Structure 1
């Protein structure tokens, strides 16, 4: 879960709190087969994140927000519960009622609930209190299909004291819930390594599935991360339960993509296409989305932040309620599967820092002017133009397509059309192989453009991924040309 300071024999313990569906479960929704059926979006109101969602309870606002989540073909919404807010170890009837209303509101929109427990809580030695609290909170939802699953702890730190706590709490919470699945998540720069520590620390105890949270820059290494995590998970299913991309103009996950709202919103859509393909290609369910809405600074209860803070800009929807491009992308993933298009025909444009139109999703580097040119096209309505500023300059457009993740010996073929205004210089394609640390392991270049000035010519390059490669990157390169060059109709395909 994203709030970082930087803003990254049981029932006898307590009286059970009454709630709709207590004990027998609700029949208003069918049971999901988690994690395989999951289509999850994390949720807070835009002005009330984390604990504020419950202390500043706004059921009408929540109801309207959940309608938007359902409109994206999500089937589950995530609610995060903090023991110190709800009352620990005895759950407050007030906050239990808020949770019951949330579950009912979600069900009215056809949404199940992912319940994340023990958020912002660190008293690992208090197993007895943990059991009292979990029993009181969860018993009303025993065998309730409205609860898709329970995440015992968000992003648990895998250390001995948490291992001991989780070994006792996983089977306990399972006994309280009945047939509702239980998981817990890990995060960090290397979520696969943390998962490995957790698997070892839990010994023979297993959740129903493992949950990893990952925010891998532009998403390029998600395929590699998942394959590593799958080798650790073994026979226990795996799910990427939380990931996202901030549309802030303060930072970017893609070097060379403009720090403008339109460019970063297009980058967010590309990110979700990339991580969604990685999940699909490795046999996982769609990734869990962080988060439904952007947030205002006052939504963060435990820190003072400004509007420039990236943590406020992960939403699929802007603060005015309008959808970013990633909202449609996520809906497509949830309903149809992961798309692999990447503005290969340069029909989509965004605004650069100087106010010009440039190709969406593509990174731009070098001493040149770049433009999305609607006056020249091999097909469609636009092309990508490059005009070097000096005869000894080199410039390029580059991108990692959504299906750019690779393993050893994965074959990649890339093609593009190119045209130059006058003879001179060199125009060519480059296929690069990079590892999980974003270091270049190798390159292959095409034969330079041979067509006459003013005519479109075909460029092509292919190759196989070297050992330890994590993804492939495409570069459209211009070197030493004194007049503009255009690119169009880029293709990217895999072979084995």
Structure 2
């Protein structure tokens, strides 16, 4: 997310996957009524269903790097890292507008979130290329000292905002100039050679193959990695693995901005691709976007759910904690030339630009310091803004009324309401959510329960579990018995289901079709059985 994401408005992986999810659901409901390129020398197509456990214990470990990979795995195991720029001095301006007091204060707050590491991006041109400017090196030295003062190790990301790949002599000189003072330095968690390399770019891949051993030699025992991202991150990782087959990094760094519910399946497939090397989720997040009042509060609730879901996925897959992008929202007026000033690209922070915490900050603190990752998805329908429930997304409801009632509920106030759903043949208006906790194997049993009641209800109102693979392809659905017609008191609904082969995500739905009255839902619970 460091450079190109803001230049290109990189919220697209999430948005495209959401569109794919909704499209697949629309097709299903209607039917039931209701990276290529030169450097990747033999990039392997990765199917949507990969038995990663078998691959992770495969025999093809590289004897030249297995010791470094083992050391990297050990170092990553307890890492709790946040990417960082000052809100008022992002990207290159962090170094050009040097304010150590501000950085010191921010590092104290990062420590207060329970993090033990911070990511610093080093811009080649800003630091002086090919010979680093001593004044910039002094700033970097002070930043590392400030981090250590607050018990934060440092991830160094090199060669940011730089793509002069043919200049091998210059890049070697610059890398040694920056890293030589920190060889074997325990304050450095790891070194990222370059942010989000495109392995399909032959010049970039050739440069990485050259520069990786140079940086590894300069770093000493410090682990060295390179990161990728993209709408199909597993394929991108496979291409990078193939490009670096002769001399792989100490671990692979994946920046994940895909659909949260698919994260565990993606991470498992990614582990299979890079095994026996370790995998680390070095960036993840979603923007809260511009706005205020109710819209902003809902966006922040969605960010919180997204990060908790991805963090659960990483832990469930046996990975270290994923590293959120970024500590604080960025002030649009302080963005340097060449980076996007679009507000929706600047609001990924755990803190708002004014320094106040978003809900995700509290959730991350709970994960980093205890009691752990919260798995709530507003199942009790107690949270919402201006008639819309937090976390739940209306689907196929343009010709119906889909709203949140803050007062009416079963045991406590709050319910999701679907009304007037009789229009449109085959339409099945619903509220949907991807729960934090997902099944982890085919054949695993799950149960969805809710309390519901009808108000002059007609048609068919149910709760359902819908299954998708990690590419968003529909795999099947199980639905509860319907509510009775007419008006009724609150009554329980339930449905059991079994995760099909290749299932990545269970999507929960509160549904009503052909209903000239109302269906109301509350106290939704999803249980994954061991």
Q: TM-score range by the shorter chain?
A: 0.7 to 0.9
| Equivalent residue, structure 2, for 1:126 | 167
Q: Deviations over 1:368-398 (max 9, x none)?
A: 4344334322223323233337677853211
Query: What do the CA deviations read for 1:110-148 (whole angstroms, capped 9, x no partner)?
Result: 111110001111122222222221112112212222111
Quick check: 1:403 aligned with 2:437? yes
Shifted more, 172-181 versus 233-242: the winner is 172-181
Select which of 426, 442, 450 maps to 2:476. Answer: 442
Alignment match of 1:330 (pick from 364, 372, 384):
364
**Residue aligning to 1:163:** 205
Secondary structure at the counterpart of residue 75 of structure 2: coil
Residue correspondences, number: 460
Contact 2:160 2:195 in 1 (8 A): yes
1:204 aligned partner: 246
* Cα distance in 2 between the residues matched to 1:463 and 1:389: 26
2:431 and 2:229 map into 1 onto residues whose CA distance is 32
Which of 272, 275, 278 in structure 1 is aligned with 2:307? 272
Structure 2: gaps (5+ residues): 11-71
Name the CA distance, whole Å, in 1 between partners of 2:415 and 2:112: 34
- State which of 172, 178, 198 in structure 1 corresponds to 2:214: 172
- SS of the aligned residue for 2:509 comes to strand
Q: CA deviation at 1:240?
A: 0.7
Whole-angstrom CA distance in 1 between matches of 2:439 and 2:383: 23
Q: 1:76 to 1:304 in 2, by over 3 A?
A: closer
Q: CA deviation at 1:90?
A: 1.1
Partner in structure 1 of residue 54 of structure 2: none
> How far does residue 225 in structure 1 lie from its aligned partner after superposition?
1.4
- Cα pair distance change 1:81/1:2, threshold 3 Å: closer
After TM superposition, the score normalised by the length of structure 2 is 0.81
Please point out which of 276, 280, 295 is paired with 1:260.
295
Task: Report what 1:295 is aligned to.
Answer: 330
Aligned counterpart in structure 1 of residue 523 of structure 2, from 481, 489, 494: 489
Report the Cα offset of residue 41 of structure 1: 0.7
Task: Give the counterpart of 1:362 among 392, 399, 402.
Answer: 392
Aligned partners of 1:406 and 1:361: how far apart in 2? 22
Counterpart secondary structure, 1:34? helix
Higher helix share: 2
Match of 2:59 in 1: none
Tell me, what secondary structure is at the counterpart of 2:374? coil
- Residue among 328, 348, 352 paired with 1:314: 348
8 Å Cα contact 1:348-1:359 kept in structure 2: yes
Counterparts of 2:73 and 2:268, CA distance in 1: 25
What's the Cα RMSD here? Answer: 2.4
Task: Give the equivalent residue in structure 1 for 2:146.
Answer: 105
**Alignment partner of 2:182 out of 141, 166, 169:** 141
CA deviation map 1:30-81 (0-9, x unaligned) = x994221111111111122111111111111111222221111011111000
Structure number with greater CO (CA < 8 Å, separation at least 6) is 2
Q: CA deviation at 1:259?
A: 8.8
Please state how far the C-alpha of 1:328 moved relative to its aligned partner: 1.0
CA distance 1:51–1:249, shift in 2 (3 Å): closer
SS state of the match for residue 309, structure 2? helix
Q: Deviations over 1:261-314 (max 9, x none)?
A: 1111110001001111111111001111100111122333233745x5321111
Query: What is the rounded CA distance, in whole Å, between the counterparts of 1:422 and 1:370 in structure 2?
Result: 16
**1:7 is matched with which residue: 9, 14, 18?**
9
Q: Please name the residue that 1:243 is paired with.
A: 284
Residue of 375, 393, 409 corresponding to 1:377: 409
Q: Answer whether contact 2:457 2:519 (CA < 8 A) is retained.
A: no
Q: CA deviation at 1:451?
A: 9.1
Match of residue 69 from structure 2 = none
How far apart are the structure 1 equivalents of 2:106 and 2:288?
20
Instruction: Give the TM-score, by structure 1 length.
Output: 0.87
In 2: Cα distance, 1:244 partner to 1:334 partner: 16
In 2, the alpha carbon distance for the partners of 1:112 and 1:188 equals 27
Moved more, 271-280 or 420-429: 420-429
CA distance in 2, matches of 1:364, 1:137: 51
Structure 1 residues 487 and 100, CA, compared in 2 at 3 Å: closer, same or farther? same
Stretches of structure 1 that go unaligned for 5 or more consecutive residues are 9-30, 251-257
Give the distance between the partners of 2:119 and 2:310, measured in 1 at CA.
19
* 81-90 vs 436-445, which moves further: 436-445
Contact persistence 1:406–1:472 (CA under 8 A): no
Q: Is the 8 A contact 1:143 1:179 kept in 2?
A: yes
Cα deviation, 1:439-492, whole Å, max 9, x if unaligned, reads 323222111124983422111112223344321111111233344332122111
**Whole-Å Cα distance in 2 between the matches of residues 130 and 303 of structure 1?**
22
1:190 equivalent in structure 2: 232
Pair 162,326 (structure 1): closer, same or farther in 2 beyond 3 Å: same
Name 1:477's counterpart in structure 2.
511
> Separation in 2 of the partners of 1:44 and 1:101?
15
What SS does structure 1 have at the residue aligned with 2:87?
coil
- Name 1:339's counterpart in structure 2: 374
**SS of the residue 2:159 aligns to:** coil
**Superposition pairs for residues 222-241 of structure 1, below 5 Å?**
222-241=263-282
Distance in 2, matches of 1:179 and 1:142, equals 7
**C-alpha separation in 2, matches of 1:442 and 1:314:** 34
Change (3 A) 1:84 1:391: closer
Counting only pairs closer than 5 Å after superposition, residues 49-88 of structure 1 correspond to structure 2 as: 49-88=90-129
- The Cα of 1:171 is off from its aligned counterpart by 2.6
In 2, the alpha carbon distance for the partners of 1:444 and 1:272 equals 27
